[in-house]
Amino acid sequence: MGLECHPVVGLLFPGQGAQFVGMGRDLAARFPEARVVFEAADEALGAPLSRIAWEGPEEELTATRNAQPAILTHSVAVLRVLGERLDGAMAAGHSLGEFTAYLAAGSLDFEAAVRAVRRRGELMYETGLERPGAMAAVLGLDDEAVDALCDAATAGEAVCVPANYNAPSQVVISGDVAAVERVVERAGEGGARRVVRLNVSGAFHSPLMAAAEDGLREHLERVDVRAPAFPVVSNVTAEPVEDPAEARRLLVRQLTSPVRWAASVRTMVDRGVTELYELGPGSVLAGLMRRIDRSVEVTSLGTAEQVAEFLDS
């Protein structure tokens, strides 16, 4: 009799940029567990987050203070509907999605998590007003080439750094407007296939976000962070975290550190994960995984139809 092989499941949670008007509305209409999550978010924040997510306007949803809790809420709504049908052994989240990953692992309660990412979004926006910055996605150059372009463009107080190592030949840069523009101008000469300026309210995951660190640290000190039931891979280190104090520290450092996404999902695969599930709005992370490692399948679960099909399978 042969041994039965069970898949090792990894959970992935999207970050800012995955939001869209109408997100989660079909899920809440079809599954009572999902509606309860959206109602709990409204109550925890004292604001109509569900209305903003479902009806917009887009400009209001895209605001950092709304987009971050809306994405987390949508992801958690999917988690609640799936219940024990999806037993994760490891998790990772892209930027704000790392908070959702800790929630999935039992480190954070929902109300605490949704308030934390609302505060995080407020701090990031306020910091962006104090020191305006820019971000751009550089496509078609490897990590080392983008690193070199950032180093060359950084002069005096004008800084440009890699912000997201998303996938091979896809790196997002962040920093002062002048320095980012220098990289944008030179990237084409360096062989970049395309450079896309991002519509953001600040230079996220760069030294320009340093002023937000104290506020987030103070907020997280008041939050009960427990040891995760399974490891969560940190954006900062691309290594699994199991200590609550380390989780707090790295969630703060994440504000000014690059998101090492490609390395993070490779860590999950190297640690034995054989199936990945992207929980929440969109399928951005599934798309990145096709560029990182096609040998591991990613299933996106965000719409009512996708979730119902998974539950019926």
> What does the DSSP assignment read for 179-193?
HHHHHHHHHHHTT-S
Task: Tell me the CB-side half-sphere exposure of residue 198, using CA atoms within 13 A.
Answer: 23
Query: pLDDT by residue (tens digit) across 159-213?
Result: 999 999 999 999 999 999 999 999 999 998 889 999 999 999 999 999 999 999 9
Mean pLDDT of 18-37: 98
- Res. 5 pLDDT band, cuts 50 70 90: low
Quick check: is 300 catalytic?
no
Which residue matches tokens 């049908």?
A: 85
Query: pLDDT by residue (tens digit) across 213-261?
Result: 999 999 999 999 999 999 999 999 999 999 999 999 999 999 999 999 9
- Res. 157 pLDDT band, cuts 50 70 90: confident
Query: pLDDT by residue (tens digit) across 250-262?
Result: 999 999 999 999 9
Tokens of 129: 């007003």
Q: Does residue 4 carry a pLDDT above 90? A: no
Q: Which helix (H) or strand (E) holds 59?
A: helix 58-62
Ramachandran quadrant class, 68 (left: phi over 0; alpha: psi -120 to 50; beta: rest): alpha
Active-site position among 50, 75, 95, 234: 95
Q: Does residue 84 carry a pLDDT above 90? A: no
Domains of the chain: 9-129+208-312 (3.40.366.10), 133-201 (3.30.70.250)
Predicted model pTM: 0.96
Of 96-100, 155-159, 184-188, which has the strongest mean pLDDT?
96-100
Tokens of 42: 């409204």
Mean pLDDT of 90-112: 98
Residues 6+ apart with CB under 8 A from 71: 14, 15, 16, 18, 19, 23, 96, 97, 100, 280, 281
d(CA 244, CA 233): 13
Tokens of 142: 């490897």
Q: Does residue 7 carry a pLDDT above 90? A: no
Tokens of 72: 């987390």
Residue 71 neighbours by CB distance under 10 Å: 32
User: Residue 228: what pLDDT?
Assistant: 97
Residues 6+ apart with CB under 8 A from 173: 135, 136, 137, 138, 146, 149, 150, 160, 161, 162, 163, 180, 183
- Res. 2 pLDDT band, cuts 50 70 90: very low
- Res. 82 pLDDT band, cuts 50 70 90: very high
Provide the percentage of residues in the chain whose pLDDT is more than 70. Answer: 98
d(CA 36, CA 39): 5
Q: Does residue 52 carry a pLDDT above 50? A: yes
Quick check: is 264 catalytic?
no
- The arrangement of strands across the sheet holding 194-197 comes to 160-167, 170-175, 134-139, 194-197
Mean pLDDT of 262-267: 98
Radius of gyration, CA atoms only, the chain: 19
User: To the nearest whole number, what is the mean pLDDT of the chain?
Assistant: 96
Mean pLDDT of 40-62: 98
Active-site position among 205, 206, 257, 264: 205
d(CA 297, CA 108): 28
